């Protein structure tokens, strides 16, 4: 993300900032509800009107709203409602198809005929589905029947009619039941191995219990689906429309935007508890370390919140309330009091607990580091989980400030080489990506950004201060995306660091702006939510885009994801790769032996049996990903699973690794660990995982071999 003060914009936004990696689809709203009475036709039409105008004016791609676009919306909306083809039949699709090439015309007229037809049909199918699964699970399946089920829903056709649809349901529920029988049978065998006097359950008992568990699971699923409101389903239609421009352009309801803000800033205001839906109840899933509830100690994981009261007001019963609504009452501004009526997990008693809300930092969002000795030299690894920032509070911590401070602390401890771990870092703030890049060069261009139809603008680091001039390795994988790719690409283009990890990063080279929709229709008083819209592409300083291609590692290492479809290039409608003119920059050529170090590492990896095994495992995963057919005959099902277990067993130790290296927290953190047992346990777990991480070990090998071409000096302010 980036705020409007940092970049040229086409609009005047009240709260404008650039978003990098945020994925929203209809499956993520299955903890909300379906109440047709909440439909607001006027609001729906206003949303269509305003979104259409914003996209046509401001999206990076100039898009024709034509028959091809209409077909996209048609397919994506139906798929979003029925991804596993449990509801609609070919007869339904035929009925919907009269609008397949008319949606573009309807959009131009703010006509919702297609949406209304599909949505009303969907509501009826949801009601019918409840009668399906209950009846199917009421009696045992025929496990001797030689039949199979295919779960490749993209290739699977819709059921021809209701009879075939019922059979789809039967097969999918049978597969779920078989899976549970197998799990329970394995547990029974383990119990018998431990106690020869244990009487194992018969197949009929296991089968009955398995069906009961599947039924319970389905009931809970439909309880959550029943909570979804019209606006939740309508948002899936809006997303089918906006995704026609590109896969990262999405519509966000107000509550979704709130979660996004928390993720990018790493903080929230409230009691510091993660909540989950448990049947009709709101339950404490986890307490956030350092938060008000954690400090106070009265709330515990598993407690159920029955009522919520604001200070001086009567309690509100939240039993049966949807989770999102319950959270709204529990959260609140810093310094305010909330009183919770709670049923305690430990003894079932009910008590009232008063908590003063505060700012809660989501600790695992932030930078952390660990120090390690290798070959009598001190090195460090910095974990940067995201490029976080809070644009609403300039004084609050952000990733650039934290990185600068962390590096200063590590320098003071005599660290000679640094690993920046960007694995699974999906991005965040472009502003902080540029500032963090600037910590490793004296000054110069970092990235190029380009609007539709305009020349690229070069974004530079103008601060001559160089916070770190020593050896640097950047660790990436296939999920390092967006802002991570900007940083990795800049370090690679300057030859400032060796990039090590998966073959290539994710490949997201687009920039999104989050727009408050009401700003474009001020006379409308209801909250219309937000549009996350692609407005720019970014390019490396060497001129190439990271879009689809990502950043290719200097040293590619096999990972379990090596052959799976998981990148931008695999997304439907992703923008293409292209290039612009190279920026004016000079490589730092920081290392005297860059090529030799890369060569040595590649030789180690190629001859390492562990990495060879990982490569074989990655190929096996791809083969299994492509095979989505399962036998529903009990004996064949068990046999197939045993064969898969046997195949998988050869890879069971593929990631078993233990180095003799000790990882320690930096000195400044030692006092914090003594005071905070939760932090101590988290760091101990992290350090233990680092010793078992062969990618980190190879990064340390590379780091220890790097030799600076000249003696560097840190430029002080």
CA 616 to CA 558: how far, in whole Å?
Answer: 9
Q: Are 342 and 303 in contact (CB under 8 A)?
A: yes
Calculate ∠ Cα 480-484-486, nearest 5°.
Answer: 130
- Structural tokens at position 634: 């009990």
Q: Please answer whether residues 673 and 680 qualify as being in contact, where contact means their C-beta atoms are separated by less than 8 angstroms.
A: yes
DSSP 180-222: HHHHHHHHHHHHHHH-TT--PPPHHHHHHHHHHHHHHHHHHHH
552 secondary structure, DSSP code:
B
DSSP tag of 415: -
Name which of 181, 104, 245 is nearest 531 in CA terms. Answer: 245
The span from the CA of 436 to the CA of 217, in Å, is: 46
417 token code pair: 């080489």
The DSSP code sequence of 583-607 is P-------BSSHHHHHHHHHHHHHH
Cα–Cα distance for residue pair 166/586, rounded to 1 Å: 66
Q: Helices 667-675 and 677-691 meet at what angle, rounded to 10?
A: 130
585, 444 contact by CB (below 8 A): yes
* Cα R_g (the chain), whole angstroms: 28
Residue linked to tokens 């209801």: 526
- Give the sheet arrangement for strand 417-421, strand by strand: 555-556, 498-501, 471-476, 417-421, 377-383, 368-374, 663-664
- The catalytic residues are 482, 493, 508
The DSSP annotation for 272-331 comes to -EEEEEETTEEEEEEEPTTSHHHHH----TT-EEEEEEETTS--EE-TT--HHHHHHHH-
For residue 372, give the 3-state DSSP assignment. strand
């Amino acid at each position: 993300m980036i705020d409007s003060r940092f970049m040229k914009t086409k609009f005047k936004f009240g709260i404008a900032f650039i978003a990098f990696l945020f994925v929203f689809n209809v499956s993520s709203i299955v903890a909300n509800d379906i109440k047709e009475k909440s439909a607001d036709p006027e609001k729906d039409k206003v949303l269509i009107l305003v979104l259409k105008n914003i996209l046509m004016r401001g999206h990076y791609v100039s898009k024709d709203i034509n028959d091809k676009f209409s077909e996209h919306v048609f397919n994506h909306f139906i798929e979003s409602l029925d991804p596993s083809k449990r509801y609609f039949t070919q007869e339904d699709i035929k009925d919907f198809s009269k609008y397949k090439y008319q949606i573009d015309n309807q959009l131009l007229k703010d006509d919702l005929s297609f949406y209304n037809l599909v949505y009303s049909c969907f509501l009826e199918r949801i009601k019918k589905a409840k009668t399906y699964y209950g009846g199917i699970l009421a009696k045992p399946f025929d496990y001797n029947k030689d039949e199979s089920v295919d779960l490749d829903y993209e290739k699977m056709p819709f059921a021809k009619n209701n009879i075939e649809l019922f059979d789809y349901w039967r097969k999918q529920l049978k597969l779920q039941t078989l899976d549970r029988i197998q799990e329970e049978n394995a547990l029974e065998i383990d119990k018998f191995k431990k106690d020869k006097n244990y009487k194992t359950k018969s197949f009929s008992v296991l089968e009955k219990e398995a069906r009961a568990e599947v039924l319970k699971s389905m009931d809970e699923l439909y309880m959550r689906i029943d909570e979804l409101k019209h606006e939740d389903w309508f948002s899936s239609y809006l997303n089918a429309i906006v995704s026609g421009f590109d896969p990262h352009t999405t519509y966000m309801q107000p509550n979704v935007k709130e979660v996004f803000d928390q993720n990018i800033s790493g903080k929230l205001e409230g009691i510091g508890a993660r909540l989950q839906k448990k049947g009709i109840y709101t339950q404490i899933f986890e307490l956030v370390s350092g938060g008000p509830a954690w400090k106070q100690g009265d709330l515990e994981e598993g407690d159920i919140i029955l009522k919520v009261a604001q200070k001086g007001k009567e309690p509100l019963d939240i039993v049966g309330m949807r989770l999102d609504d319950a959270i709204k009452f529990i959260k609140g501004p810093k310094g305010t009091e909330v009183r919770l009526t709670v049923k305690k997990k430990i003894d079932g008693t009910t008590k009232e607990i008063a908590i003063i809300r505060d700012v809660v930092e989501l600790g695992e969002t932030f930078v952390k580091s660990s120090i390690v000795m290798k070959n009598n030299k001190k090195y460090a690894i910095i974990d940067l989980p995201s490029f976080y920032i809070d644009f609403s509070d300039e004084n609050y911590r952000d990733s650039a400030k934290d990185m600068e401070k962390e590096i200063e602390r590590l320098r003071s401890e005599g660290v000679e080489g640094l690993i920046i771990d960007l694995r699974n870092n999906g991005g965040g703030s472009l502003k902080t990506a540029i500032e963090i890049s600037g910590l490793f060069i004296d000054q110069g261009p970092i990235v190029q950004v380009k609007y539709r139809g305009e020349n690229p603008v070069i974004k530079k680091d103008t601060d001559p201060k160089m916070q770190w001039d020593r050896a640097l390795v950047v660790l990436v994988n296939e999920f390092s995306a967006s802002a991570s790719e900007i940083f990795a690409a800049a370090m690679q283009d300057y030859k400032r660091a060796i990039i090590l990890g998966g073959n290539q990063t994710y490949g997201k080279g687009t920039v999104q702006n989050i727009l408050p929709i009401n700003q474009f229709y001020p006379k409308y008083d209801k909250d219309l939510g937000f549009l996350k819209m692609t407005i720019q592409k970014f390019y490396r300083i060497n001129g190439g885009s990271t879009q689809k291609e990502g950043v290719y590692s200097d040293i590619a290492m096999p990972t379990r994801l090596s052959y799976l479809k998981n990148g931008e290039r695999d997304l439907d409608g992703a923008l293409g790769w292209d290039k612009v003119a190279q920026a004016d920059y000079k490589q730092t050529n920081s290392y005297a032996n860059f090529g030799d170090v890369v060569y040595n590492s590649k030789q180690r990896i190629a001859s390492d049996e562990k990495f060879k095994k990982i490569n074989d495992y990655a190929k096996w995963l791809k083969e299994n990903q492509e095979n989505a057919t399962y036998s529903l005959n009990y004996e064949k099902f068990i046999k197939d699973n045993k064969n898969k277990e046997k195949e998988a067993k050869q890879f069971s130790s593929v990631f078993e690794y233990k180095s003799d290296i000790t990882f320690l927290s930096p000195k400044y953190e030692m006092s914090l660990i003594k005071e905070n047992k939760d932090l101590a346990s988290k760091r101990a777990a992290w350090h233990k995982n680092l010793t078992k991480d062969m990618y980190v070990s190879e990064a340390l090998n590379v780091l220890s071999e790097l030799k600076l071409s000249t003696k560097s000096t840190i430029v002080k302010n």
